[in-house]
Amino acid sequence: MGCSFRSATNPKKQLIIATRNPDKFREIRAVLSDLKLEFLSLIDFPDLPEIEEDGQTIEENAIKKATEIHNHTGLPCLADDTGLEVDSLGGAPGVYSSRYAGETATYADNCRKLLEEMEGIPYPQRTAHFRCVMALVTKNKVITTEGVCEGYILTQMRGQNGFGYDPLFWVEPYGKTFAEMEPELKNRISHRAIALNKMKPHLLNLFSTEDFGLCSGKFK
Ligand code: IMP
């Protein structure tokens, strides 16, 4: 990878979140807010190439995204890849969650397709979980953590908050879909929050040492 930047420090404590999705970025920032880092997203790097999410698993996709962005920018990079795994559909949509209803599918298209695929499946069998893998890539480390949140897929959408499949994902202990929860509650119990809370000690360690995980990058 070509290099035009070398530094031993990252004084602004910058961490890139490898997403252009404002919904994800908002949630990740909220859960990590106590770390007092400067969070950047791919919106801050308009010249970076699109990264094809062509891995066979969400782990592969998360590591690929974080590695490529780290190599381009030289900054430590955190990438999230998430899949909704529905038991009665053999784990689908899984790694295809974002394009379940097609390459240009909207959140609503994907929810509609899921409802169609699950038509007639009775409640006890409508179990599902979100699985999120976070990958942190720095100059010399690749660290992954995982978070899983169990729930049920409703037969109709409920709630206005959140994004993606949130209006269909009902969490039994709270009697609400993710989309009916206040963001504060979702950010305490979600798959993403669980994975991020496992990642926090690694981030604290990274940003408390002199070596902030920088390598040489093309865009900085
Ligand atoms: P990605 O590949 O990690 O960007 O996510 C795949 C798809 O899963 C997204 O397009 C959303 O539709 C869905 N998704 C990811 N995270 C969540 C979530 O927290 N709630 C609901 N849907 C989500």
Going by C-alpha positions, the residue among 13, 1, 57 that lies closest to residue 203 is: 13
Q: Whose CA is nearest to atom 12 of ligand 1?
A: 164
Query: What is residue 81's three-state secondary structure?
Result: strand
C-alpha 5/C-alpha 7 separation (Å) is: 7
Query: What is residue 162's three-state secondary structure?
Result: coil
Q: How far is the CA of 57 from the centre of ligand 1 (A)?
A: 14
Q: Probe ligand 1: pick from 21, 98, 112, 150, max atoms within 8 Å of CB?
A: 98
> Got the DSSP string for 134-166?
EEEE-SS-EEEEEEEEEEEE-SS---SSS-TTG
Q: How far is the CA of 13 from the centre of ligand 1 (A)?
A: 27
Query: What is residue 95's three-state secondary structure?
Result: coil
C-alpha 94/C-alpha 112 separation (Å) is: 16
Pocket of ligand 1 (CB under 6 A): 21, 53, 80-82, 84, 97-98, 107, 110, 130, 162-166, 178, 190, 192
- Conformation bin of residue 13: beta by default, left when phi > 0, alpha when psi is -120 to 50: left
Query: What is residue 17's three-state secondary structure?
Result: strand
Neighbour count for residue 120 (Cβ, 10 Å): 5
pLDDT digits (tens, 9 = 90+) for 159-193: 999 999 999 999 999 999 999 999 999 999 999 99
Residue 212 pLDDT = 52
Here the tokens at position 192 are 């993403």
Domains of the chain, each with CATH number or no CATH: 8-210 (3.90.950.10)
Of these residues, 81, 87, 109, 211, which one is catalytic? 81
**Mean pLDDT across the chain, nearest whole number?**
92
Q: How far is the CA of 11 from the centre of ligand 1 (A)?
A: 32
Residue 7 pLDDT = 43
pLDDT digits (tens, 9 = 90+) for 104-153: 999 999 999 999 999 999 999 999 999 999 999 999 999 999 999 999 99
